[in-house]
């Protein structure tokens, strides 16, 4: 019997799951010699398998359509110098199934398996024993509005060779089109700039003596002190994502404070992706029973994988906090099956990853925290403005992705930067810049924007090679100050940095 209690907004939540390349054999496999490997099933020859337990369990079929790199070894752990990249046809809690034989040999074979990042959310040790979950306890920040991607099947209707009615004779749903997620946030960190631009490096200078090979502190993050591009988490004494045994574990130390990030442009057309987990729950669900129940009666969860930022707009206005609108294309929408544990059973905002016990870390950047430079001078009278980064993503579907609900890829097109400002002017520089035929570069001065809470929590954006595309100087109705609207198009990102406590896994 279905409960009469309805779902309400009080039980709605959305969290982020990092999508990262991870070596699943390191996390789930069997030690052979000096390496950890997955066994190929000798009967089907299309399947890699492992022993399922609370620390080695995947969400069924969530990785369908993802790519995996396989490296062949023998039973003694010796490399066979054979590598192939295959698409995952399906997966269970304890297997990865491919559409073709991994190898025709009838003997037991072993493989190092790396699932590539696009559409592949990082798994999590079971939040409730015997149930699958994802690393879905990441706070999205100060979200004011969220709209989940829409799922729109392509309806196919046709007439059959049989008369007698003016109605269609047959109809069915074709491929599913997945819409874009829309996220409006009051900006309190710089993580969205990483997803919009595509590449990240960091320097973690505030670290403890704890290392990955000795002191695994649950809930903590570990990175390379000098610099690196991947940060690992520890949950239930497991390293997420698993670290390659060939890496030096002692080099990874626990991050205890601010991290210096540098974001750069990814020109390969492949942007970093993330998963959004959207959950609705009723008010009578206890912690012990916090999972998707068989009737989807008390907890209902949807998983949107392969989300990539199509456009990001950074907004600033006098008297207001800095806000951002993120529009992200999604690759796949999957309803969580019975037993799935949303949010790793983290049910309070204050317990989510990146929510800080220091309230000053959680507050957004304010208009009063900012400085803006352009044309070689500081613009002291900017009233409002925005910066829009567009990636012009195009969804692609390829033959053999094994599911009509999956988008095979989302390729990035022409990247554009647009800067719009409303300000008060004191001279004719802006008008002169509009009439120039050539662009302005760093010899005159970059477009520079900085928003800072402190010297250890700030965002800095600098653009080069820009051209002024419009200047609107109105004739005022009154005798007050003239507000001028200008728009500039930048061709090059010079610098983008973020310093803060937010842990970005990408």
SS3 category, 215: coil
What residues form DSSP beta bridges with 12?
280
C-alpha 451/C-alpha 199 separation (Å) is: 21
- Residue with the two structure tokens 């046709």: 158
Q: Are 65 and 98 in contact (CB under 8 A)?
A: no
Mapped to the 3 state alphabet, what secondary structure does 61-77 carry?
CCCCCCEEEEEEECCCC
Contact 472, 200 (CB under 8 A): no
Q: What is the DSSP string of 12-57?
A: EEEEEEEB--EEHHHHH-EEETTEEEEEEPTTTSSEEE---BTTB-
* Closest to 115 (Cα-Cα) out of 93, 96, 139: 96
* Residue carrying structure tokens 């595509």: 198
pLDDT of residue 297: 82
Give residue 129's pLDDT.
Answer: 79
Q: Quick one: pLDDT at residue 1?
A: 43
DSSP β-ladder status, 79-91 and 142-147: unpaired
Residue showing tokens 């710089």: 190
Rounded to the nearest 10°, the torsion over CA 211, 359, 190, 307 is: 80
Residue found by looking up tokens 């490296």 in the block: 71
What element of type H or E holds 196? helix 191-197
Contact between 272 and 118 (Cβ < 8 Å): no
Strand partners, 489: 418, 467
- CA–CA separation, 1 and 338 (whole Å): 17
Rounded to two decimals, what is the model's pTM?
A: 0.94
Are 484 and 423 in contact by the 8 Å Cβ rule? The answer is yes
Q: Residue 3 has what pLDDT?
A: 61
Which two three-digit tokens encode residue 79? 């490399």
Q: Give average pLDDT by consecutive 10-residue segment, the chain, 506 residues.
A: 71 94 95 93 92 93 96 92 94 95 84 96 88 96 95 90 82 91 97 97 92 89 90 93 88 94 92 96 86 86 96 95 97 94 93 93 92 89 94 91 88 95 87 89 94 93 96 83 92 96 95
Give the model's pLDDT for residue 36.
94
């Amino acid at each position: 019997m279905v409960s009469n209690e309805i779902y309400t907004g009080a039980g709605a939540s959305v969290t982020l799951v990092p999508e990262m390349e991870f070596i699943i054999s390191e996390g789930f496999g069997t030690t052979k010699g000096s390496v950890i490997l997955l066994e190929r099933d000798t009967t089907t020859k299309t399947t890699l398998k492992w022993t399922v337990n609370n620390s080695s369990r995947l969400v069924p079929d969530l990785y369908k359509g993802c790519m995996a790199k396989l490296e062949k070894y023998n039973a003694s752990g010796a490399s066979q110098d054979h590598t192939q990249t295959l698409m995952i046809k399906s997966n269970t809690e304890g297997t990865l199934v491919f559409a073709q034989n991994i190898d025709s040999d009838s003997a037991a074979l072993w493989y190092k398996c790396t699932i590539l990042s696009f559409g592949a959310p990082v798994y999590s040790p079971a939040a409730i024993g015997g149930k699958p979950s994802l690393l879905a306890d990441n706070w999205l920040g100060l979200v004011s509005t969220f709209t989940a991607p829409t799922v729109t099947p392509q309806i196919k209707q046709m007439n059959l060779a049989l008369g007698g009615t003016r109605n269609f004779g047959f109809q069915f749903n074709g491929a599913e089109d997945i819409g874009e997620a829309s996220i409006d946030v009051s900006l309190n960190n710089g993580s969205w700039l990483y997803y919009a631009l595509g590449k990240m490096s960091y320097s973690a200078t505030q670290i403890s003596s704890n290392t990955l090979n000795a002191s695994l502190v649950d809930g903590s993050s570990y990175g390379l002190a000098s610099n690196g591009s991947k940060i690992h988490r520890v949950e239930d004494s497991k390293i997420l994502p698993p670290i390659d045994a060939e890496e030096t574990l002692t080099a990874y130390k626990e991050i205890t404070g601010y991290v210096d990030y540098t974001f750069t442009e990814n020109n390969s057309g492949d942007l970093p992706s993330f998963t959004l987990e959207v959950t609705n729950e009723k008010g009578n669900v206890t912690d012990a029973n916090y999972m998707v129940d068989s009737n989807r009666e008390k907890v209902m969860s949807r998983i949107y994988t392969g989300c990539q930022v199509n456009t990001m707009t950074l907004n600033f206005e006098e008297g207001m906090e800095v806000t951002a609108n993120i529009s992200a294309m999604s690759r796949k929408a999957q309803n969580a099956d019975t037993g799935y544990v949303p949010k790793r059973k983290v049910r309070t905002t204050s317990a989510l990853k990146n929510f800080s016990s220091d309230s000053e870390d959680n507050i957004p950047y304010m208009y009063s925290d900012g400085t803006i430079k352009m044309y070689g001078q500081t613009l002291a009278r900017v009233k409002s403005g925005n910066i829009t980064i567009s990636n012009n993503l195009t969804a692609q579907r390829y033959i053999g992705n094994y599911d009509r609900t999956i988008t095979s890829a989302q390729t990035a097109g022409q990247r554009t930067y647009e800067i719009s400002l409303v300000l008060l002017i004191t001279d004719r520089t802006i008008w002169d810049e509009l009439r120039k035929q050539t662009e302005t570069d760093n010899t005159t001065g970059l477009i520079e924007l900085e928003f800072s809470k402190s010297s250890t929590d700030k965002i800095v954006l600098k653009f080069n090679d820009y051209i002024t595309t419009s200047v609107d100087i109105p004739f005022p109705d009154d005798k007050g100050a003239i507000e001028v609207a200008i728009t500039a198009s930048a061709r090059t990102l010079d610098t983008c940095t973020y310093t803060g406590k937010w842990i970005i896994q990408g």
